[in-house]
Amino acid sequence: MARYQFFTVPASNRQQYTFIDMASPTFLSEKAALLTQGFEVEEDFIDATSPREAVEKYQSNFLYVADEIGKSDSSYAAAVAMLELGKGLLGNKTRGD
């Protein structure tokens, strides 16, 4: 899995960005060039299997991180199981049913 570092233009609301594969032999020089051009490092790195996946994770505004953290917690799994059990018992009933 590759690790990507994202850079954004300040005050662009994360809409103007670029990224670099941190394993690239030119990573440090590319990073320095972007910082010189006014880009800022955007939070932490993103682990992804492809550049496309990295961009999707970046554009999700890191919601995937909260989901992954939740999935690693046994109480999260229990809560999801209870929710699914409730859905199964109640079906798709609504208050009007």
What digits encode the pLDDT tens for the residues 58-73? 888 765 555 556 666 6
Share of the chain above pLDDT 70, in %: 69
What's the whole-model pTM score?
0.62
pLDDT (0 to 100) of residue 79: 67
The Cα angle at residue 93 between residues 90 and 97, in degrees rounded to 5: 130
Of the candidates 42, 35, 49, the one whose C-alpha atom is nearest the C-alpha of residue 17 is: 42
Are the beta carbons of 2 and 21 closer than 8 angstroms?
Answer: yes
Q: Give mean pLDDT, residues 68-82.
A: 65
* Range ranked top by mean pLDDT from 20-29, 53-62, 72-81: 20-29
Task: Please give the span between the terminal C-alpha atoms of the chain, in angstroms, as a whole number.
Answer: 48
